[in-house]
Copies of this chain bind each other. A is one copy, B any other.
């Protein structure tokens, strides 16, 4: 198996290093990851400036490169330019902090897996529900198990798996829950201050607002389950299309006026 690893915490992140270690022996491992943290970059790509490539060293990786770009850039560059053959699977992570609910939309971790999916490669995003833990041992094993199962069973066209692992001792983890993406969102606040030169700035802060839902990724995680959500590239609200077809647009008026 040829495995491409990326993340959004940067190539030096413990979660990435532990992921590579956990996958050791499963196949040829390529690491192409940002040279620095790229959290909350959404599905950004770098068009307006050049991208730099730095050979790197990651224990147990067969090939490793840091790049001056986003997670999506990493996967594009790896597949298009760096790897002589396409990867069989793309794994993004292990992210420091969960990616459930609305975070899926902001997540650089998910975006690397999205880019793999766009390229027709089975892809996983893996996150650990802690900003402080450095124990990625169990989450690494989970990532490896999901890689094996997804590789064996295949994924539907245009679909990736978003996996979140509780930061609990393994014996307290209740199992796997296949769950839908929840609607938990952030309530932003902006810290408003003056800089040393007296100029005003804003700095975004925010807390995730829990949503009263019990069958979601976030709820499963909070209950002690590993949550896994199949995520689609097709964002169409198909059921609403027929209703919209009845809307009165009356365009003929516009050309005249």
A interface residues with partner B (beta carbon < 8 Å) = 37, 39-53, 72-73, 76-77, 80-81, 102, 104-106, 111, 114, 118, 138, 141-142, 145-146, 149, 153, 156, 158-159, 170-171, 173, 175-176, 178-181, 183, 185, 188-190, 192, 195, 199-204, 226, 228-238, 240-241, 244-245, 247-251, 254-255, 257
Are A41 and B39 touching (Cβ within 8 A)? no
Q: Are A43 and B45 in contact (CB under 8 A)?
A: no
**A114/B105 in contact, CB under 8 A:** yes
- Residues of B with C-beta under 8 A to A153: 247
Question: In the assembly, how many copies of this chain are there?
Answer: 2
A240 to B161, CA, bound (A): 11
Main SS class of interface, A: mixed
CB atoms of B204 and A105 under 8 A apart: no
Q: B residues within 8 A CB of A76?
A: 188, 190, 204
Question: How long is the Cα–Cα vector from A238 to B111 in the complex, in angstroms?
Answer: 20
Chain B residues near A41: list those with CB within 8 A. 41-42, 44
Kindly state the separation between the CA atoms of A231 and B244 in the bound complex, as whole angstroms.
Answer: 12
Complexed CA–CA distance, A41 and B43 (Å): 7
Give A249's nearest chain B residue, CB to CB. B176
Q: Which residues of B are found within 8 Å of A226, using beta-carbon distances?
A: 251
